[in-house]
Structure 1
């Protein structure tokens, strides 16, 4: 009579390794997903629309990147550079656009910072914030300002 084999032990080395790998990968995926651009439920424009509307004066386009980024790529025609890291960012924005209901579009490099800042500005009482999720360099939303061959102006350091 053939003896039945014992099933694999509940806590075998193989099962322990597989469980550890799944835990690490699952945690890594959760971290990756949390580091992506936050959702912004408001309006958005592609870079061509943002350029056309900024040049026409229909929106105020704010480039929220850093000065070193502006120096490398230039600033999109029609955009106003205001570094989002400024302690007085909101005050600088209100100086440029006093009406918190006016349409203000935000652009950064790849759409992550602009979405975050759009959420922040909405919480701070700006009611017509528009995200440009393609950014200057492109993202999942599209090729971006530079790859779309939209005009840029050189950045000049303030003196």
Structure 2
């Protein structure tokens, strides 16, 4: 009987360890950006080009994230979860799917994935900002680089 209990305990422990490992695998998958074969900009370049009007810099994070860190100066906030995201982006780009559009998120994961999706949807000049606002393996990010941010005000 004791042998049966230890076998059961072993299976429970192995199942728990497996669930933990699976949880870490999902977390890592969500934190690793997809490869994006298109253009990329460092945060300093993205800021300079956005302020100069050479690129439409779109902050695709959520309003909660914009309130927490602000929106990078020169960037336009557009929540990527919006049902009308693509039409809204086309409108922001003046109806031109070939206009240079740079995407920034928190750590470069969502922007890389969305860059691939927008390219597949017919946008021809999507640029990823892989450092993001908070930094990633690509670099320190907008906030740590000390680039200016503007306070996000709901409804603007």
TM-score above 0.5, yes or no: yes
Paired position in structure 1 for 2:4 = none
Among 75, 80, 87, the alignment partner of 1:91 is 87
Distance in 1 separating the partners of 2:83 and 2:24: 33
Q: CA, structure 1 residues 155+41, in 2 after alignment: closer, same or farther (shift >3 Å)? A: same
Q: Which has the larger radius of gyration?
A: 1
Aligned-pair Cα RMSD in Å: 2.2
Among 39, 44, 47, the alignment partner of 2:43 is 47
* 1:115 equivalenced with 2:80 (yes/no): no
* 1:125 equivalenced with 2:125 (yes/no): no
The alpha-carbon deviation at position 37 of structure 1 amounts to 1.1
**1:51 alignment partner, SS class:** helix
Distance in 1 separating the partners of 2:147 and 2:74: 11
Structure 1 stretches of 4+ with a deviation exceeding 2 A read 24-35
**1:95 alignment partner, SS class:** helix
Distance in 1 separating the partners of 2:154 and 2:24: 40
Q: Where do 5+ consecutive residues of structure 1 fail to align?
A: 1-19
Q: Where do 5+ consecutive residues of structure 2 fail to align?
A: 1-13
Structure with a larger share of its residues in helix: 2
Paired position in structure 2 for 1:156 = 153
